[in-house]
Amino acid sequence: MNFHKFFAELKRRNVHKVAVAYGVVAWLVIQVTATIVPALHLPDSLTTALVVLTLIGFPIVLAIAWAFEMTPEGMKRTANVLPDEVVPQWSRRKFGVFVVGVAILAASLLTYQFLKPKSTTLPTVEEPAPIKPVPQKSIAVLPFENLSDEKSAAYFAEGIQDEILTKLASIADLKVISRTSTAKYQSKPEDLKIVSQQLGVATVLEGTVQKAGDKVRVNVQLIDARADSHLWAKTYDRDIKDVFAVESEVAQETADSLEAKLSPAEANTLATAPTKDPEAYDLFLKGEYEARLAESNFRPDSFDQATSWYEQAIARDPHFALAIARLVQNRILHHWFVEFLSEAELADLRKNVDRALDIAPNLAEAHIALGMFYYHGRRDYEHSLAEFQRAVELQPNNSQALEYLGLVHRRQGKWAQSLVELRQALVRDPRNASLEANISSSSVHLRMWREAEAAGRHAINIDPHETIGMRTLLLSILNGRGDIDEALHVLATFPADSRLTSNSLFGSVPGITGERAYALVIARKFNEALKIWEPSATNGVDERREISARVAIRVLAGDFAGAQTDAQKAVKILEERLRERPSEILTITELSWVYLALYRNADALKSSRKAAELLPPQKDALVGDYNLTGLAEIEARVGETADAIAILRQLMFIPAGDSVSVARLRIDPVWDPIRNDPRFQKLLSEKELAGPGE
């Protein structure tokens, strides 16, 4: 073969230029694809497929370039082109400009891929979680279906499921998924393999309950969820008074089937009934049903109704330790999230929990109740930590106790350890909206905005009424990127009856108004914010909260004249309450804004300083920053600009993203009085702490 003539022919037919052009364009297309595929959350396989097609296409394009020529009359086979026919040639200059231009574009995209910040976001709700090995000894007890003629008996079916689950949770040799997560599923899901993957379990227990008079039929079946095959099934026809024996038998047979090793204490737990009184148990189950609603929606009437059922159960059986423990938990959560209890009421709760522990010293729920009393009632984090650790020892699968360990360490400023523990709890309770919301809350404080937004969206996807999840999602948008329009768009998707308020979040002005109203304040929609706190819209909320919120909103709007009537009324109510509860920080904060409305600036500053002294970040790393922020807010309003800016600078370098971030400082009306101060403007150019900060 004459290679000289061969290469000359390649050149004449432009094959070499086609090869170079194809390679450069292919490189550009691959770089564009590699950039947009992650941005649009398209499957990575798309990039792989394009590379394969590009490689396959290369020899095909070269063959076409060899076999065909582009002539003035169109494309012709080379064999049909006359020797003297003119074949257009690419000029060297134009070809060179084309190649260099495309190469520059491709190189720019490649450089962007290497230099762009690495994402640390958690998987979004839509992305499938990575499949992890599933422990053989793992189980989820799915909701039991209520087959009773009375549909109101659903609480009874839930109660039987819950008691079986609780017994299994005491077995250290098993991985047992919390009821909070299993409650999100149907009694008989269509695809158990998906359930297995989502919950990380090998088996599921399904059941039905039919209650008629004093008789009950319980049907259960244990299923290998990975293969969707039955392991065993059994039907129990018993008197209502024997329902406890049914629960114990089901738990024992399940443990035996999974070959779980039981200690003597665990075996005793499986065999023990919480009460011998069936009517007391029925009342208790009604209380449990209502308490679960309360823990999701924070409605005062739900808390109160649960309390009533528990008290009736205890009246029938004064030795019903589990009912006593759950009563304490319900009341302490009402104190924390809805309305503070008096010292006398808190003292009564302590007596109740001590009574439960006297009756059942090894009852995990009683130790959780005592831990919650120390945590929510006394802010005594060392003693609460000991009680939650004891609860985990007694019931290794209790995700509530595991979660509280993370919450305590968060209050102690051990942020990294707290996040690890909260995520460990999530393994036992992967569909727990409250737990996911608390992870979001920690991420907001740590200014891990993307993680906070992902966890917040996940929380409300699981439970659309999850208040903390809604609040942290809103803050991840406002504090993370200062996007008011997006925040209002997201706010419009939340249930209209949720003001996003909580007794546990106090010290700064959003703690008075609630985050729903304050998002509108940030958007300068003051009249809309006021409507949220009109008496007709508050559904029986304490009058003190209503008028304090309205006063603060009017002050932020600059409407001091409009605030006067409410302020005159509020000052009497708040000062009277403060005489009874001199250390109640929410009341102190509310009073400071009422004093501002009344032009009593010195009193406002004095109140705010008192709040900051009562609970600084050194005593409580989670909410101490709120109190410091509240002090800075009042200082900014009364002319103590230097002190306000000094506090803001301090807060920017500790985990305080819930209340202070550069993006939030730019848009929050509370800082309008000092916004044009050069020292405040300098803050906006400084780099804030992002991460655990330990």
Among 105-109, 241-245, 342-346, 550-554, name the one with the lowest average pLDDT: 105-109
- For CATH 3.40.50.10610, list the domain ranges present in the chain: 138-273
The pLDDT score that the predictor gives to residue 120 is 35
CA–CA dist 380, 383 (Å, integer):
6
Instruction: For CA atoms 352, 358, 359, 362, give the dihedral sign.
Output: positive
Q: What is the pLDDT of residues 633-646, one digit of tens each?
A: 999 999 999 999 99
CA–CA dist 463, 130 (Å, integer):
22
Looking only at the bridges linking them, the beta strands covering 203-212 and 138-141 are parallel
The pLDDT score that the predictor gives to residue 502 is 73
Q: How far is the CA of 384 from the CAs of 296, 404, 604, in angstroms?
A: 23, 9, 34
Among 227-241, 429-443, 533-547, 680-694, name the one with the lowest average pLDDT: 533-547
What would you measure as the largest C-alpha separation in the chain, in angstroms? 112
Q: What is the pLDDT of residues 135-170, one digit of tens each?
A: 899 999 999 998 887 777 788 888 899 899 999 999
Under 8 Å between Cβ of 144 and 208: yes
For residue 507 the two structure tokens come to 């010290």
Find the helix or strand (DSSP H, E) in which 215 lies: strand 215-224
Nearest to 223 by CA among 250, 198, 202, 251: 202
Under 8 Å between Cβ of 284 and 320: yes
Burial bucket for residue 677 (CB in 10 Å: 0-12, 13-18, 19+) = middle
Tally of CB atoms within 10 A around 216: 24
Domain covering 509-683 in this structure, CATH number: 1.25.40
Task: Out of 3.40.50.10610, 3.40.50.720, 3.90.550.10, 3.30.565.10, select the CATH number for domain 138-273.
Answer: 3.40.50.10610
For the chain, the C-alpha Rg in angstroms (whole number) is 33
115 pLDDT above the threshold of 60: no
pLDDT-derived band at 188, boundaries 50, 70, 90: confident
Alpha helices in 412-495 (DSSP H): 415-428, 433-445, 449-462, 467-481, 484-491
What is this structure's pTM? 0.72
Under 8 Å between Cβ of 241 and 138: no
Terminal-to-terminal C-alpha distance of the chain: 74
Higher pLDDT, 98 or 387: 387
- For CATH 1.25.40, list the domain ranges present in the chain: 509-683
Q: What is the pLDDT of residues 506-549, one digit of tens each?
A: 899 999 999 999 999 999 999 999 999 988 665 556 788 899 99
Residue that the structure tokens 């009277």 belong to: 576
CB neighbours of 687 closer than 8 A, spacing ≥ 6? Answer: none
Q: What is the pLDDT of residues 471-481, one digit of tens each?
A: 999 999 999 99
The pLDDT score that the predictor gives to residue 129 is 42
Q: What is the pLDDT of residues 651-671, one digit of tens each?
A: 999 999 999 999 999 999 999
